[in-house]
């Protein structure tokens, strides 16, 4: 048994105020509220204010998580920021956030695993704590997907929203009953072009002559991603439970990545879970990529749906393809 273990001591989230409803999309593309609700489960999503950066959303979520942990920013020794929409290409969103928070005793870096970035951040943070390298880590999932969404493409634009979530991980004695008990992360680069942004990187950089390149927005082969997502999330959930030595029946709440209600329903069925053990808030936020799991975790916690001692299974899937799951006892 490890001498030390990573325990979640604070949870926070933030969603920007501006709401974009399904009927707003009826004015932009050929779609309907009915199609969006039945095919995706989404009714509305949040959109950040002009000029705000992803680090601003993360900052709000982080303040709440730190307050609940009873810590000050200077207490942190590491910041792991999961995002596909950093404020700038350089420096990392984590460094921008560090400055905003005044967390100057921490090292800060971004974690890139698309919608699974928060789970990858938890796995990384938990491993650093178990190795004895850090003791108080802020793990964030935050996104401004509205900035990489093509509002002319009906097959993707209705899906995405902005938001942020954060947790504080702290080092505790290995014999403690709570903490991260099992975690698994996986990737398969063979499917990297099923969900990607073709332009804007080193292969097709943005230049004055291609600023209107549609490849600067997210592109997705929705149907194929859908099938892979169900299979991968199911196996990651089972593996995290096995590693934690917790039977799936003993999980109090599953918090899946909120990408599509039909993916969540398929996962629920495959894992043979009762519906009331699966948390869903996609109707309010859409797919917020790496923010979706911590945003849902905070909602579940703040509403009393989960409490200290509960086994919570978080599972996510996204571009890469990258996926993973974490079993934590709160
Ligand atoms: C994107 C997604 C909602 C599309 O749902 P779907 O049932 O697979 O729908 P399809 O792509 O097969 O499209 C069915 C039809 O609806 C149309 N359609 C797509 N978007 C539409 C919209 N917003 N409004 C109305 N019609 C739409 C398509 O053009 C297609 O029309 P056609 O049959 O005339 O060609 C679904 O595939 C999905 O959620 N995929 C996974 C998303 C995901 O998980 N992404 C991130 C992982 S992190």
pLDDT the model gives residue 271: 97
Pocket test for ligand 1, best of 192, 220, 222 (most atoms within 8 A of CB): 222
List residues with catalytic annotation. 115, 257, 287
Query: Quick one: 145 and 193 in the same domain?
Result: no
On whether residue 284 sits in a domain, the answer given is yes
pLDDT the model gives residue 276: 97
On whether residue 208 sits in a domain, the answer given is no
Instruction: Return d(Cα 72, Cα 169) in angstroms, integer.
Output: 14
Query: Quick one: 136 and 66 in the same domain?
Result: yes
Query: Quick one: 66 and 194 in the same domain?
Result: no
Domains held by the chain: number: 2
Query: Quick one: 262 and 241 in the same domain?
Result: yes
Nearest CA to ligand 1 atom 16: 155
- Give the helix/strand (H/E) hosting 36: helix 33-40
Instruction: Return d(Cα 63, Cα 178) in angstroms, integer.
Output: 23
Strand order in the sheet with 311-318: 179-187, 322-329, 311-318, 253-256
Q: Which residues contact 141 (CB under 8 A, 6 or more apart)?
A: 82, 83, 117, 118, 121, 164, 165, 166, 289, 290, 291, 292, 293, 294, 295
Nearest CA to ligand 1 atom 30: 155
Q: How many A from CA of 156 to the centre of ligand 1? A: 8
- Give the helix/strand (H/E) hosting 44: strand 44-47
On whether residue 47 sits in a domain, the answer given is yes
Q: Note down the domain range covering 19.
A: 4-173
Q: How many A from CA of 311 to the centre of ligand 1? A: 34
Query: Quick one: 195 and 304 in the same domain?
Result: yes
Return the CATH number at 101: 3.40.47.10
Pocket of ligand 1 (CB under 6 A): 31, 35-36, 39-40, 115, 154-155, 158, 220, 222-223, 225-226, 229, 259-260, 263, 287, 317-318
Query: Quick one: 131 and 280 in the same domain?
Result: no
Ligand 1 atom having least distance to the Cα of 158: 23
On whether residue 220 sits in a domain, the answer given is yes
Residues of the chain with pLDDT under 70: 1-2
pLDDT the model gives residue 2: 62
Q: How many A from CA of 231 to the centre of ligand 1? A: 19
| Contact call for residues 246 and 305 (beta carbons, < 8 A) | no
- Give residue-wise pLDDT tens across range 13-23: 999 999 999 99
């Amino acid at each position: 048994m490890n001498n030390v273990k990573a325990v979640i001591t604070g949870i926070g989230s933030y969603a920007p105020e501006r709401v974009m409803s399904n009927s707003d999309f009826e004015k932009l593309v050929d779609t309907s509220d009915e199609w969006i609700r039945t095919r995706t489960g989404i009714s509305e999503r949040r959109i950040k204010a002009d000029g705000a950066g992803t680090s601003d959303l993360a900052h709000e979520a982080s303040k709440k998580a730190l307050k609940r942990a009873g810590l000050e920013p200077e207490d942190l020794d590491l910041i792991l920021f999961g995002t596909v929409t950093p404020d700038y290409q350089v420096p990392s969103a984590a460094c921008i956030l560090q400055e905003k928070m005044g967390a100057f005793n921490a090292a800060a870096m971004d974690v890139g695993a698309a919608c699974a970035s928060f789970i990858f951040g938890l796995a990384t943070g938990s491993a650093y704590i178990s190795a004895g390298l850090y003791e108080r880590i802020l793990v964030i999932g935050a996104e401004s997907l509205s900035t990489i969404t093509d509002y002319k493409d009906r097959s993707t634009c209705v899906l995405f929203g902005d938001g942020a979530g954060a947790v504080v991980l702290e080092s505790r004695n290995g014999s403690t009953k709570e903490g991260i008990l099992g975690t698994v992360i996986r990737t398969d680069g063979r499917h990297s072009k099923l969900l990607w942004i073709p332009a804007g990187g080193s292969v097709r950089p943005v230049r004055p002559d291609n600023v209107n390149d549609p490849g600067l927005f997210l592109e997705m082969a929705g149907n194929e991603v859908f099938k892979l997502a169900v299979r991968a999330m199911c196996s990651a959930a089972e593996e995290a439970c096995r590693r934690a030595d917790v039977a799936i029946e003993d999980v109090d709440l599953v918090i899946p990545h909120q990408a599509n209600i039909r993916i969540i329903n398929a996962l629920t069925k495959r894992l043979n879970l009762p519906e009331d053990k699966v948390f869903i808030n996609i109707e309010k936020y859409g797919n917020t990529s790496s923010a979706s799991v911590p945003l849902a975790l905070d909602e579940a916690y703040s509403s009393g749906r989960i409490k200290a001692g509960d086994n919570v299974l978080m599972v996510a899937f996204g571009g890469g393809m990258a996926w993973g799951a974490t079993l934590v006892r709160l």
